[in-house]
Amino acid sequence: MVRYCLVFILLFGFQLWAQVPDFDEEIQSPELIELSLDDIQIQAWQQDAANLLKQTRLWALKNQLWWDGELQNLHHFGGSFSSQRLDVGLLHNWDEQSSYLAASLKINSLSAIEEMVVGNYRPRFGSGLTLGSSGSSRHSSMLELASMGPVDLYSPMGAAMIASIWEIQTLAFGSIQNRPLLFDQNNQIVSFAKRKTNNHILDRERIWGGALAYENDFIGLGALLYEQKHDWSHQNAYYKRTLLIPAFALKLYLSELDFDLELGKIGEEVHAYAALQYKHAGFKQKISLAKDPDRAKIAYSNFAQVITRNPDTLELSYDALFPLAKHLKLQLLFAANQHQNPTASSNSLKSRLVAALRYADKTSALGFKVSHFDREVLAHTLQNYTISRPQHWRFELSFSQKPIQALQLNLNCRYHIEDKESYKNNGFYFNSGFKLKHKTLSLDAGYRAFFRNKYGFYYLDDSYEGWSISTRNDQQVYLGSRLDAHPAYLHFNYRHSLQDTKDYRLTAELTIKY
């Protein structure tokens, strides 16, 4: 116990960089991580693919090894020649002898063909409600093609193309592959597996379709139609073997005001998303109304706007950014949804409120975030959240400072009020440490702890370069180093539990750019 206290006291003043996403200058909802984990992982992979080829002429290779009770290896290769880009990922688990592979070849500016992708890809139409990743952004293109997401996350496999002439764009795409099915206790199909597994119950999935769009500086119009076909032999009236999914999208750009609208239909069910965004002198706000599609039926669709996957749910959301003073900003997010046909075990109304206050200048940053939500909001992510207890709070404080240019000190702590009936169910997360950089060498070290960890904490794991979840009480120390010596970049990170000496994680990463 004494050594734990000493570690806590020594490191309290050396706060490691805050374990929360950066506070973007553009509108970015200070959301609950559980609700958008897939989107964040997809964006992280695509950003890594972009960074891999940044300031390189031909190719780059990134290899990551990590030991965490089992040995895993991730290879990420990127190549670029003229306007052609190749993105390849291979994840191998040595203990389970399983491998997952994804590859994407993207060709740009080939005569009338604006973009063409062969392999794995992620298409997007309109605001992304019916097809593609979630969210809408100012003056984003009506039709988009992105490379694959994480290797272990399913994405369409085939070919896609965007062609344009004047201000008219067309999208054509096709995909065919085998994917596992998920079943309930009654052997009824629940949904498609989003992540690759060794499940042997596979279904042949065929998707093909197209879209047409017109867009200028003031208006965007688009129409989408695609078909999903499946070979499953299970009798299930709720899931048809063939789905024809149409959608329509409208975007208006009116000076400081933007409007987004998307309507779609799956069978007899209509889904919709409408958002009004206003921006003026640093102030931004977005009001949206959404009726979610049935995401179990849509083969490739991530969380869009609604906080539940029930297609009979309506949600109203308000997201705003207020510039209070120089370097000081306030973000507010409020959302409430209503089940049109609630069950006896489910609350009819679910809501969440997130408020984030952030101060940041050139040398220091201080942030405070409060979240209040119905625990049922997380029912589809963490199974132990299925019981509704409407009073759930999170308080999060993050602080970082650079006393000198080479040294960064940070702190991040979070308190969860899980159950107001008993404080023993409330949880606390703490992270403190420092990061030191000198020329091509950087060093970071820290201490993190999880206390009364009944429901689990999501945290940005330094040794994994991604979000992890801890499901037990624990205390950890970690140490990392990075050497940047072009064309080679070497990164080591070690994490060890103070509660269980057999619990550790070691990662080694080598990146070569040419």
Range ranked top by mean pLDDT from 28-32, 73-77, 191-195, 297-301: 73-77
In 184-256, which ranges are E strands?
Answer: 189-192, 202-215, 219-230, 242-254
- Dump pLDDT digits (tens) for 442-466: 999 999 999 887 777 888 776 556 7
If you search the block for the tokens 């199909």, which residue do you land on? 189
Q: Residue 457: is it exposed, middle or buried by C-beta count within 10 angstroms (0-12/13-18/19+)? A: buried
DSSP sequence for 259-315 = EEEEEEEETTEEEEEEEEEEEETTEEEEEEEEE---TTTSSSB---S-SS--TTEEE
Q: Over pLDDT 90: what percentage of the chain?
A: 37
Q: What pLDDT does residue 234 have?
A: 56
Going by C-alpha positions, the residue among 181, 95, 108, 193 that lies closest to residue 145 is 108
* Confidence class for position 358, pLDDT limits 50, 70, 90: very high
Q: What pLDDT does residue 41 have?
A: 80
Q: Rounded CA gap, 306 and 176, in Å?
A: 29
- Dump pLDDT digits (tens) for 273-313: 999 999 998 899 999 998 887 777 777 766 555 666 667 78
- Dump pLDDT digits (tens) for 132-151: 765 555 557 889 888 888 89
If you search the block for the tokens 């370069």, which residue do you land on? 465
- Dump pLDDT digits (tens) for 231-249: 766 555 556 778 899 999 9
> What is the Cα 54 distance to its own chain's centre?
22
- What tokens does 298 get? 């849509």
pTM greater than 0.85: no
412: Cβ–Cβ under 8 A, 6 or more apart, which residues?
Answer: 15, 16, 18, 19, 20, 396, 397, 398, 399, 429, 430, 431, 432
The domain segmentation of the chain, as residue ranges, is 1-96+305-514, 102-302
Q: What pLDDT does residue 76 have?
A: 92
Q: Rounded CA gap, 173 and 131, in Å?
A: 12
Q: Rounded CA gap, 274 and 261, in Å?
A: 4
In 27-151, which ranges are E strands?
Answer: 59-67, 71-81, 84-93, 98-110, 113-125, 143-147
Going by C-alpha positions, the residue among 21, 169, 139 that lies closest to residue 466 is 21
Q: What pLDDT does residue 44 have?
A: 82
* Residue 51 parent element (H or E): helix 37-52
**Backbone phi, psi, residue 50, to 5°:** -70, -40
Mean pLDDT, rounded, for 40-57 = 79
Q: What b/e sequence results for 12-50 when a residue is b if at least 16 CB atoms lie within 10 Å of its CB, and e otherwise? A: eebbbbbbbeebeeebebbbbbbbbbbbbbbeebbebbe
Q: Which CATH class is domain 1-96+305-514?
A: mainly beta
* Confidence class for position 163, pLDDT limits 50, 70, 90: very high
Q: Rounded CA gap, 145 and 141, in Å?
A: 10
Average pLDDT score over the chain: 81
Q: Rounded CA gap, 349 and 319, in Å?
A: 19
Q: What pLDDT does residue 102 have?
A: 93
